[in-house]
Amino acid sequence: MKLTTDFFKSRNACAEWLIYFEATFGFEADYQVVLDRLAKENRVSLAHWLLKTVGPIDETLELSGDTKIEGHLFVAGHLHCSANISVSLSIEAGSGIEAGWGIKAGEGIEAGSGIEAGSGIKAGSGIEAGSGIEAGWGIEAGEGIKAGSGIEAGSGIEAGWGIEAGEGIKAGWGIKAGEGIKAGEGIKAGEGIKAGSGIEAGSGIEAGEDFGIYCGLSVCLSMKANYAVLIAKDRPKNLLLGEYRQLSGCKL
């Protein structure tokens, strides 16, 4: 896909971008070539703006075998790796990100649609997907995890900040968040569920048979009544910390 100065003017791009684009590429350049240049120059905010402004294209970047990249990786369309992909900084794709094995980034991972890995997904900062996030093993983020639809991991899910899903959240092992956990549907873990602040689900919340649910682990005692709150259709039987409130609209 070719990008032109006329296209950017029609999108009301700022003068700084127009000057940069013309000085670097002239009046026309390939979308992926522009993203590659922004990755090389460490222009993360501009790459993010470009991907949101132009949107995804119907093309796939295919990476064969284990792939290690120093720096950022910005992809105009879909990113597919047959094995493991490891990027020292951030990964962002206009469409989905898929790996036969693991996906790892020193900073963030973001996809316009879904993120899927045969084994684990790990990011030094946040993980965000326009649709679902799915890993055969665990999902781990130094900051938040956010999905437009569901989040599912074969083992554990852990975030330094919050975890949010438009649909359900499911983990074979435990679920742990430094801040809150929120799901449009149910939350289910094979082991325990721990949140620094509140937990909210559109239906039920379920932990493993011999494990507890801890809500508000990082909340000050004086604030627990407001922020250490679990909201769900029914009270989980293994809620060990936090105040239960029934989901609005549910009847006893």
Please list the pLDDT of the chain residue by residue as tens digits (252 residues).
999 999 999 999 999 999 999 999 999 999 999 999 999 999 999 999 999 999 999 999 999 999 999 999 999 999 999 999 999 999 999 999 999 999 999 999 999 999 999 999 999 999 999 999 999 999 999 999 999 999 999 999 999 999 999 999 999 999 999 999 999 999 999 999 999 999 999 999 999 999 999 999 999 999 999 999 999 999 999 999 999 999 986 554
Look at residue 250 and tell me if it is in a domain.
no
DSSP string over 30-84: EHHHHHHHHHHTT-HHHHHHHHHHH---S-EEEE-SSEEESS-EEESSEEEESS-
Look at residue 38 and tell me if it is in a domain.
yes
Coarse DSSP helix, strand, coil percentages of the chain, rounded to the nearest 5 percent: 20, 40, 45
List the structure tokens of 182: 């929120």
Sheet holding 169-171, edge to edge: 60-63, 78-81, 97-99, 115-117, 133-135, 151-153, 169-171, 187-189, 205-206
Look at residue 18 and tell me if it is in a domain.
yes
Look at residue 207 and tell me if it is in a domain.
no
**Cβ proximity of 155 and 102 under 8 Å:** no
**Cβ proximity of 5 and 23 under 8 Å:** no
Look at residue 198 and tell me if it is in a domain.
no
Q: Give the C-alpha separation, 113 to 93, whole Å.
A: 9
Q: Give the C-alpha separation, 129 to 148, whole Å.
A: 6
**pTM (two decimals):** 0.96
Look at residue 20 and tell me if it is in a domain.
yes
Number of structural domains found in the chain: 1
**Cβ proximity of 181 and 197 under 8 Å:** no
List the structure tokens of 201: 């689900």
Look at residue 7 and tell me if it is in a domain.
yes
The letter for the amino acid at 12 is N
Domain that holds residue 47: 2-54
Look at residue 214 and tell me if it is in a domain.
no
User: How much is the pLDDT for 248?
Assistant: 83
